[in-house]
Amino acid sequence: MIKCFLWFVPCFFVLAGFAQKANYKEAERFMRGNAEKLVGSTKVSPHFLKESDKFWYSYKTGDGTRYYFVDPKAKVHRELFDREFMTAEISKYTHGPVNYKELPVHALTFKEDEKTLKFEVDTFRFEYNIYTNRLVKIDSARKKPSKTPRKSNGLVGTYSPDSTYIVYAKSHNLYMLSVKDSVETQITTDGALKYSYTYDDTDTTSQRVSARVTWFENSERFYVRRSDRRKIKTLYVVNNLSSRPTLNEYEYVMAGDQEVQHEELFLVDTADKKLIKVPVEKWPDQTLRLFTPGKKVNSLYFLRKKRTCDEIDFCKVDLKTGDVKVLINEVSKPYFNNDFFHLSLLNEGEDIIWWSERTGHGHFYHYDGEGNLKNAITSGDWTAGKMIKIDTVGRTIYFGAYGQKKGACPYYARVNKARIDGNGQVEMLTPEQATHEAYFSKSGRYFVDNYSRADLEPRSVLRDNKGKVIMELASPDLTRLYETGWKMPEPFTVKAADGHTDLYGFMWKPFDFDSSRHYPIISYVYPGPQTEAIPLEFSVTAAYNVGLAQVGFVVVTFGHRGGSPMRDKWYHTFGYNNLRDYPLADDKCGIEQLADRFSFIDKSKVGIFGHSGGGFMSTAALCTYPDFYTAAVSSAGNHDNNIYNQWWGETHHGVQEIKSFEKKTVKDSVTGKDTTISVEKIKFETRIPTNIELAKNLKGYLMLVTGDVDNNVHPANTLRMADALLKAGKNFDLVILPGQSHGFMGIQQAFYQRKMWFHFAKHLLGDYSSDQFREIDAYMRL
C-alpha cells in the first residue's frame, strides 16, 4: 500500500509539470462585478433645466461624488455647491453623521427660477439658492398631488379633450359615458378574453377599466386598437425557489407558428356612437404600428409589415370614413433592418422622415405629406444610424453615423447633422474615432458629448451644434485602476474567410504577459445580426474578457460577415437563410490568422464562449470544427431556433408563405343550391438548422449553462442539446442556475464566471486543481 502510494505521487507531479497553472487570484481581481468598483463615473448624464440650456450633473471619482452646474451661454462650469459647507448645513437639521464625499442627497430638481435647487435627505426637504448659498429646510411632509379637475368625480376611463365624454371598458367591451347627463352607451358587444378593448385583456372582473382609446383633439371621435391573442400558445417555466415550486405560464410565438397575434383598428364618432373598422389588413399575419404626428392628435397613420419581413406600407387613415391611403410602399430583400429603421412625422404630417437601405447603406429620406419623395437627406457609402434629435424649426436632424472614415473601424458612432431639405450633404460634429453618445439641450444649441473606445479613456465635453468644443466637463479617475496593472485591449484587423472582407476586433492578454510563452486563445462570440460582441466603449471588464484573460489566456473578439448592421446591408444580411452556420468560418479563419501573426498564441488549444446567440454559436463552432476548437462554454444558447421567438428566426433566417387551395361547399345566395368553390389557404413555414443535429460531431469539451426560469431563451433549448449529446454518447458538463432568467445576476453570475475559468483551465491549460475546491473561494487560498 505504501509503496504504491509513493510510486503514484511522483507520477502525478511529473504529469502535472506539463500543465500551466491557472492564475485564479488575478482573475478574481478583474472579474465582472469586482473590477468596476475601481472606477467611478465614466459619463456625464446632464439634467437640463426645464426651458433652458443650463444643466447640472454629478460625477464620482476617487475623491467622492461632486455636483456641477453648467451655463453654456455664459461658459460657466462650477461646482453646484461646496460639499463641506453643505454637509455642515444639513447636519444642523438631521443631527446625524454626514459624509461630505458621499452626500445622501436625492430627488434633485431646479425650480423654474433656475437658481433654486430642491433636494431631499432622508425625510428632510431643502431648498438651496446656488447664487446666495442659502440653504432652507422646507416642510418635511410630502404634499399629495392634487387631483385634476377631470378626475374629481372619481370615474375610471379616458376623457375627451373637452371633458364631455369618458370612454372605458367593462367585461372587455367598450362604453362611453356622457359626463353632462351620465348616460352610458355600450359601443361594442364582441369583446372577449384576449380579444379585448382594454389594456388588460386577461381581466376577469366586470368593473370599469381603462380602454385602449386615444381621443382626437376636436373631441368628435377617437380610435381604439384591439389585439387578437386567443389562439397564441404558451410556454412554461418552474420557479423552483418559491415556497412551493410555482408554474409560470407566458405567451410565446415561435418561428413558424400558425397562430400569431392579429391587430385591429377602429374609429368611433361621438355623434352616432358607431364603430367603424379601419381596413388595415393587407397581408396575412402582418404586424401593425400606429403613429400620430404630435401631442395633439388630429390625424392617424399606421405602418404595416408582411410576415415575411420584406415589405412595408405606411398609410394614412381618413378619420370620417375609415378609408386607408398608402403613402409609402417599400420592398427590402431579404428583410428590413429593425434596429435602425426610423419614421418621423413633422408639421402635423406635412413632412415625413424615412430611413431606408435602398442603396445598400442606411440613409434618411424626406417625403411630403402625400408620400412623394422630395429629397435624400443623407447619402454616401456609409451608414446613417439612430436619430438623436430633430430640430423642426431649423429643419435639421442630428443622428449617429458609421463608417464615414475610409480604412478605419466602421463601428464607431459619430454625431452628424443634415438639413431636412438638403441634398444629401452632412456635417460631422464629432470627428474623433470613438463611440459618441450625445445629449442635446431642448433648444438644440448645445449637446453633451460622451465618447470613448475600448482602448481610449472616456472623455466628456460640451459642444455647440456646430461641433465646436465649448468646454471640458469631466474625465474618469483611473488612477487606482492603473495601479492594479490593468491594461487596455489591443485592436486588430483580420480577413474573413472570403479573403477580402475586413473584420475588426480586440485582444486581451494576461497583465503579466510573457511574449516567450505560448497561450491558449479563446474567442468571445455573438453572431448578430443585430449587433456583434465587439466592445464599442471603454469598459473595465469587457463583459468576462478581462477576468478570463488573467486565468492565463489570450482572449479575442471580432466581427464576422452576417454581424452588425452598422456596416452595410450586404454585411448584416449575409447569414440570411443560414442562421446556424454563417459566422463560424470567419471565426475560425480569424483565429488562424492571429495564431500565424503572433508566436505567443498556441493554435492547438482554442476555446470559444458566448451567451444567448453566443451560446448558440459557440456550441455550433465546437461541433462544426471539432478538430479546431478544443473547449466551449455556452450559456443560455438558443440551440434550437425553431422553438425561439418568431421575430428572430423568421426575420433573420426567413419564413416561406405557402399558398394552397381547398374545395368548399357553399349555398348559392341566388339559386339556393349547393355549389363547390376553391378557397385559398395560406400558411407559413420555416425550418432552421439546429445545434442538436451536430451533437454527433462533438470531440472537445463542452459546458452547457442555462437559468431555470429563462423566459427568453427557454431552458428547453439547452436541455434538448443535452439530450442529443446523451443519445450520441458524448461527455459534457451541464450547469443549471436556479432562479436565473436570461441574464445571470449576483452570486449566480459570479459562480458562472468561475465555472467558466475552471472549465477552460482544465481543458486548455491542463490545470485540474479546481477539482479539489469544495468552497466557493477555496482557490483563493492556493
Q: Could you report the per-residue pLDDT of 378-410, keeping only the tens digit for each?
A: 999 999 999 999 999 999 999 999 999 998 999
Residue 652 gets which letter from DSSP?
H
Domain check: are 658 and 627 in the same one? Answer: no
Q: Do 638 and 661 share a structural domain?
A: no
Residue 745 located in a structural domain: yes
Domain boundary among 121, 138, 155: 138
Specify the residue for cell string 435627505. Answer: 121
DSSP assigned state of 762: I
Quote the pLDDT of residue 52: 94
Q: In this structure, which amino acid lies at residue 503?
A: L
Closest by CA position to 577, among listed 241, 262, 308, 347: 308
DSSP state letters, 268-303:
EETTT--EEE-----STT-EEEEE-SSSS---EEEE
Asked if residue 394 is part of any domain, the answer here is no
pLDDT value for 140:
61
Question: What is the C-alpha to C-alpha distance for residues 365 and 353, in angstroms, rounded to an integer?
Answer: 6
Per-residue model confidence (pLDDT) at position 668: 74
Name the pairing type of β-strands 701-707 and 631-635.
Answer: parallel
pLDDT in tens, 257-294: 999 999 999 999 999 999 999 999 999 999 999 999 88
Question: Same domain for 519 and 642?
Answer: yes
The whole-number pLDDT of residue 13 equals 37
Residues 668 and 681 in one domain: yes
Sheet holding 383-391, edge to edge: 383-391, 396-402, 414-419, 426-428
Residues with Cβ within 8 Å of residue 304, at least 6 apart in sequence: 280, 282, 283, 286, 287, 288, 289, 312, 313, 315
Question: Do the domain assignments include residue 286?
Answer: no
The predicted pLDDT at position 150 comes to 45
Same domain? 529 vs 582 = yes
Per-residue pLDDT, 677 = 78
- Which segments in the chain show pLDDT lower than 50? 1-17, 141, 146-152
Q: In this predicted structure, what is the pLDDT of residue 51? A: 86
737 and 674 in a common domain: no
Q: Considering its fold, how many domains does the chain have in total?
A: 3
Q: What's the pLDDT score for residue 671?
A: 77
Per the listing, cell 478570463 goes with 548
pLDDT tens per residue across span 493-546: 999 999 999 999 999 999 999 999 999 999 999 999 999 999 999 999 999 999
Instruction: Give Dmax over CA atoms of the chain in angstroms.
Output: 105
Instruction: Give the number of other Cβ atoms within 10 Å of residue 149's Cβ.
Output: 9
Domain span including residue 513: 485-646+688-781
What does residue 550 show for φ and ψ, rounded to 5 degrees? -70, -20
Burial (CB < 10 A; 0-12, 13-18, 19+), residue 733, is middle
Other CB atoms within a 10 A radius of the CB of residue 616 amount to 29
What pLDDT shows up at residue 382? 97
Final residue belonging to a domain, choices 138, 163, 192: 138
Local structure of 683: helix, strand or coil: strand
Q: Do 557 and 669 share a structural domain?
A: no
Q: Is residue 41 part of a domain?
A: no
Q: Which residues contact 118 (CB under 8 A, 6 or more apart)?
A: 107, 108, 109, 110, 111, 125, 126, 127, 128
**Does 680 lie in the same domain as 694?**
no
Q: Is 73 within a domain?
A: yes
- CA-CA distances (angstroms) from residue 1 to 4, 6, 15? 5, 9, 21
Residue 545 shares a structural domain with residue 632: yes
Residue-level pLDDT at 776: 59
Q: How many residues does the chain have?
A: 782
Instruction: To the nearest 10°, report the CA torsion of 732, 738, 739, 744.
Output: -40
520 found inside a domain: yes
Burial category of 482 from C-beta neighbours within 10 Å (exposed 0-12, middle 13-18, buried 19 and up) = exposed
Q: Do 660 and 584 have their domain in common? A: no
The three cell numbers locating residue 526: 455573438
The span from the first CA to the last CA of the chain, in angstroms, equals 29
Q: Residue 34: what pLDDT?
A: 87
Question: In this structure, what are the phi and psi dihedrals at residue 154, rounded to the nearest 5 degrees?
Answer: 80, 10
Q: Could you say which of 85, 118, 138 is where a domain stops?
A: 138
Note whether 331 and 311 are within 8 A (CB). yes
571 and 676 fall within a common domain: no
- For position 777, what pLDDT does the model report? 60
**Domain check: are 599 and 563 in the same one?**
yes
The whole-number pLDDT of residue 16 equals 39
Phi, psi of 568 (to 5 degrees): -160, 175
Please name every residue paired with 65 in a beta bridge, in sequence order, or none if there are none. Answer: 60
CATH code where residue 625 lies: 3.40.50.1820
Given the C-alpha cell 480577413, which residue does it identify?
495
Average pLDDT across the chain, whole number: 93
Is 361 a member of any domain?
Answer: no
What is the H or E stretch that residue 449 is in? Answer: strand 446-453
Closest CA to 507 of 573, 466, 577, 454: 454
Q: Is 607 within the bounds of a domain?
A: yes
Read off the pTM.
Answer: 0.92
